[in-house]
A and B are shown apart, each in its own frame.
Chain A
């Protein structure tokens, strides 16, 4: 096999194990551990008057019951606010077990530990909690009205308020630019809640070694290193006495970046207290009511533009529902407010958000992390402008695009990492051209007309996006060649199913010149690599990929230096091919890397024949120099860290053709096209898979999934029976094409790809349904009954003249235009 693996669509190294049923997911570990179960609040908002555990005490197999009163030291303190921000003036986090007040259904109130999960749940059921219900706050607009408060000490339910402004080239601010623009529009948009919903829920398994006074924690997490620091801090242990391992993680999609969860503190704490292994595996209902959700926002948009559709001023105010607590800060609305701009220059921009408390599950990033809402806002705005002017929707977009010559392009805002929002590279006009070609934009009229003649309604929509990927602060990589020639790669960053073992092995094989079969990759295990940030923000390939490449380059330099001595050659004349260091042009002069590894570690004791070659009487060398040179270290290892100055910016454009049923109002996606640019591809097959999965989640969020709270704050659809994730029957064939504009910011020229697929889908499908129906779509998701209701309301149903450049059909502008021109 060739060692040039970078860019090849090779099969994943993970798969043989996973298809054989030999995965090691959290609940596959710790077969003999005690099981934890939680008593969770049935009320959205209530004061805890009393907790009576006496009824549970005679349950056979019960080991312990804990309430907040039992939590000692820092375990009883509020959970950390992970990402403070000056605008988050009223950040609040919960306690591991509720203290006095519960603020959402599902908040943990008591923990039961028992012989197995069945018994633990028996006991949990018998814990009698007396609640005094308080008025719940449900829905972001109710939160803004602030008739009731979620936290007594947070006036107006406002956790954060942030404004960012960029003046136009003429110096005008957005309101002034809009005021002077030839055309103005004003409208409201809304997106409902959804959730990451990995098929494996959360889980924690802890083992306390009393003799060693050390703790090993397994967690289904997206950040094992940070869980380690948090657990060490909470349990008052030196970090060196805490190991955290993310085993196989059955999907995360964002929700598992939150940490430490109450359970991540309580399970290790109980394991130490009891001197027994303890495990908690989240069940599905728990995941719905006690992990995290995302998406819910309401936007109020004002835009001013010229006759070509060029945006001269854009003013967006939005309300963000962050649920009961803010452990993850205001990352989601910051991303919405900045990534909203997408691939466009908008003249003057003003964005203002208010992040509000409600008595619902907390809101933290879910794949896309605020971008789907921002893109929905911007792309709906583009469509409205096109409808208003009667122009082709792609022409309006083209008039606003940042051009290839404009990079690096500074949007003038501060991004989620506190760094300036400067796009590194891209070719947005080409993306637009490619997606038009892929979906046959210009030929759609015939298909539409033909379908209409047979009573069928087709619609076409598209949307563009830019995604900041690969945020810092850093990741690291370690590479080691052992004396058998095996290459051990590790990074502290975790995997959640994206194929990191394969992609990172491809990088290592290419950089080192070794067969990929010799490469073994470990992720998310603090025993192997202690410094890391985590898997989120489409950053794994960019951050850990580049760190591993740098580590390999360091190792390669060392290997060539040692080999040069052994071969009496100049290191600059050496290459590594198939794991063998060779002198270029002299095939006879070579030394395998495994031998170089032996030579790299001067030995006194031989443990096998290979090692004997490195012992003191076998090795020559100068008698006047130390065996390990000054500044050198033993072993054939390399370590590298990659810390980017700022994010890289991937981009894409999606388009879809939908059919809406005239009777049932069902929406069927006939075609779905994706053009995607994430710089250089490490493994095209894996990137395609990421896009497929993202689009499917986007389709779920656009047409099927919503989290339905009633006015009491009860989540009405907390099961897979009622929360409608798409099956294979709901997902069309996804057609993809790639553009590769390398990032100038990192050695490998790559950008992130993990989240991209999901980002524009709601915008695309809203546009396509609007195009099919001639009804303004300003809220997503849209279910058949939503569409049916919109039809009945006859909202601006009169078909408008077709847009110039677009084939006339059922397409209509339907714009309400309260601002007037």
Chain B
């Protein structure tokens, strides 16, 4: 028996995208497999690790906990959409590179999306606000030391750019 499929149209990284998928298709799988945006990673598929974090209308969400059909009509930003259109890395991307804020890089896209929203809402976070802000994302490589530094560095880069 063929599974009913639904047309899902949404904006991803500023571009109108669409695909026809079953109702149960996770947003994470939709981005990765239907749209080919594999920068968003899947680490647990139960919403704990944060690797799959994307921005939905600007807010961080776990794309593994959301169905693609539920994202129809919304605007999504993935890691591929953080840089400027000419490819210049965003301050957050730059800071992670400068501070050695990643090792294997698997969790990194989730952190980058999370931190992008964090610094938009709180441009100069204190230490405990940084910890709180990234406390929903797991990293198994870095011990978080340089991720914390990268968040502060990104805040400085953004302040300097203003």
| A19 and B140 contact, Cβ closer than 8 Å, known pairs A31-B36, A60-B3, A118-B24 | no
Chain B proximity of A309: nearest CB distance (Å):
33
Task: Kindly state whether residue A629 has any CB partner on chain B within 8 Å.
Answer: no
In the complex, chain B residues whose CB is within 8 Å of the CB of A727: 134-138, 144
Contact A200 B41 (CB under 8 A): yes
In the complex, chain A residues whose CB is within 8 Å of the CB of B139: 199, 728
Chain B proximity of A302: nearest CB distance (Å):
36
CA distance A18 to B141 in the complex (A): 14
Contact A21 B143 (CB under 8 A): no
CA distance A782 to B96 in the complex (A): 33
Chain B proximity of A375: nearest CB distance (Å):
19
In the complex, chain B residues whose CB is within 8 Å of the CB of A249: 104
Chain B proximity of A647: nearest CB distance (Å):
24
Contact B141 A720 (CB under 8 A): no
| A692 and B143 contact, Cβ closer than 8 Å, known pairs A200-B104, A727-B138 | yes
| A498 and B103 contact, Cβ closer than 8 Å, known pairs A11-B98, A23-B39, A720-B49 | yes
**Main SS at interface, chain B:** loop
Task: Kindly state whether residue B148 has any CB partner on chain A within 8 Å.
Answer: yes
- Please choose the segment from B66-74, B77-85, B117-125 that sits at the chain A interface, where 4 or more of its residues have CB less than 8 A away: B77-85
Contact B106 A728 (CB under 8 A): no
In the complex, chain A residues whose CB is within 8 Å of the CB of B147: 728
Task: Kindly state whether residue B12 has any CB partner on chain A within 8 Å.
Answer: no
State which residues 106-160 of B face A: CB under 8 Å.
106-109, 112, 130-132, 134-148
Choose from B22, B44, B78, B108 the contact partner of A720 (Cβ within 8 Å): B44
- Chain A count of residues within 8 A CB distance of the other chain: 57
Chain A proximity of B88: nearest CB distance (Å):
11
Query: Which of B3, B102, B132 has most A Cβ within 10 Å?
Result: B102
Contact A21 B40 (CB under 8 A): yes
In the complex, chain A residues whose CB is within 8 Å of the CB of B42: 27
Chain B proximity of A759: nearest CB distance (Å):
14
Contact A21 B39 (CB under 8 A): yes
CA distance A18 to B109 in the complex (A): 8
In the complex, chain B residues whose CB is within 8 Å of the CB of A497: 103-106, 141
Contact B103 A19 (CB under 8 A): no
Query: Which of A23, A198, A284 has most B Cβ within 10 Å?
Result: A23
In the complex, chain B residues whose CB is within 8 Å of the CB of A382: none
Contact A18 B142 (CB under 8 A): no
Task: Kindly state whether residue A696 has any CB partner on chain B within 8 Å.
Answer: yes
In the complex, chain A residues whose CB is within 8 Å of the CB of B45: 283-284
Choose from B33, B89, B135 the contact partner of A729 (Cβ within 8 Å): B135
Task: Kindly state whether residue A12 has any CB partner on chain B within 8 Å.
Answer: yes
Chain A proximity of B79: nearest CB distance (Å):
4
CA distance A498 to B140 in the complex (A): 12
Task: Kindly state whether residue B1 has any CB partner on chain A within 8 Å.
Answer: yes
Chain B proximity of A373: nearest CB distance (Å):
20
Contact B142 A14 (CB under 8 A): no
State which residues 219-273 of A face B: CB under 8 Å.
248-251, 253
Contact B100 A693 (CB under 8 A): no
Query: Which of A197, A199, A200, A692 has most B Cβ within 10 Å?
Result: A199
In the complex, chain B residues whose CB is within 8 Å of the CB of A693: 103, 140-143
Choose from A11, A248, A692, A721 the contact partner of B142 (Cβ within 8 Å): A692
| A197 and B140 contact, Cβ closer than 8 Å, known pairs A18-B102, A25-B41 | yes
Task: Kindly state whether residue B37 has any CB partner on chain A within 8 Å.
Answer: yes
* Nearest neighbor of A29 in chain B, beta-carbon distance: B38
CA distance A734 to B144 in the complex (A): 10
Contact B145 A734 (CB under 8 A): yes
CA distance A21 to B139 in the complex (A): 16
Choose from A19, A31, A251 the contact partner of B141 (Cβ within 8 Å): A251
Task: Kindly state whether residue A324 has any CB partner on chain B within 8 Å.
Answer: no
CA distance A685 to B83 in the complex (A): 25
Task: Kindly state whether residue A595 has any CB partner on chain B within 8 Å.
Answer: no
* Nearest neighbor of B113 in chain A, beta-carbon distance: A21
Choose from A23, A498, A688 the contact partner of B106 (Cβ within 8 Å): A23
Task: Kindly state whether residue A695 has any CB partner on chain B within 8 Å.
Answer: yes
Contact A499 B103 (CB under 8 A): yes
In the complex, chain A residues whose CB is within 8 Å of the CB of B112: 19
Task: Kindly state whether residue A211 has any CB partner on chain B within 8 Å.
Answer: no
Query: Which of B32, B38, B137, B143 has most A Cβ within 10 Å?
Result: B143
Chain B proximity of A202: nearest CB distance (Å):
13
Task: Kindly state whether residue B161 has any CB partner on chain A within 8 Å.
Answer: no
Contact A719 B48 (CB under 8 A): yes
CA distance A200 to B40 in the complex (A): 12
Task: Kindly state whether residue A608 has any CB partner on chain B within 8 Å.
Answer: no
Choose from B43, B103, B132 the contact partner of A689 (Cβ within 8 Å): B103
Q: 0/1 per residue, B7-33, Cβ < 8 Å to A?
A: 000000000000000101100000011
Task: Kindly state whether residue B53 has any CB partner on chain A within 8 Å.
Answer: no
CA distance A12 to B150 in the complex (A): 14
In the complex, chain A residues whose CB is within 8 Å of the CB of B106: 23, 25, 198-200, 248, 250-251, 497
Contact B142 A250 (CB under 8 A): no
Task: Kindly state whether residue A697 has any CB partner on chain B within 8 Å.
Answer: yes
Query: Which of B78, B107, B144 has most A Cβ within 10 Å?
Result: B144
| A16 and B89 contact, Cβ closer than 8 Å, known pairs A31-B33, A696-B143 | yes
Q: 0/1 per residue, A304-320, Cβ < 8 Å to B?
A: 00000000000000000
Choose from A16, A496, A694, A720 the contact partner of B46 (Cβ within 8 Å): A720
Choose from B43, B78, B107 the contact partner of A21 (Cβ within 8 Å): B78
In the complex, chain A residues whose CB is within 8 Å of the CB of B82: 20-21
* Nearest neighbor of A686 in chain B, beta-carbon distance: B100
Contact A696 B144 (CB under 8 A): yes
Contact B108 A18 (CB under 8 A): yes
Contact A725 B140 (CB under 8 A): yes
Given A23-B38, A696-B143, 12 new contacts (CB under 8 A) = A21-B78, A118-B24, A199-B49, A248-B106, A283-B45, A497-B105, A499-B103, A719-B44, A720-B43, A720-B138, A725-B138, A728-B131
> Can you give 20 A-B contacts (C-beta < 8 A)?
A11-B98, A16-B97, A20-B83, A22-B80, A23-B105, A25-B106, A27-B32, A28-B32, A31-B33, A58-B1, A198-B104, A200-B41, A248-B106, A249-B104, A250-B41, A250-B43, A284-B44, A498-B103, A688-B145, A728-B134
A-B pairs, 9 with minimum CB distance: A21-B39, A497-B104, A250-B106, A18-B105, A696-B143, A692-B143, A21-B79, A720-B48, A28-B38
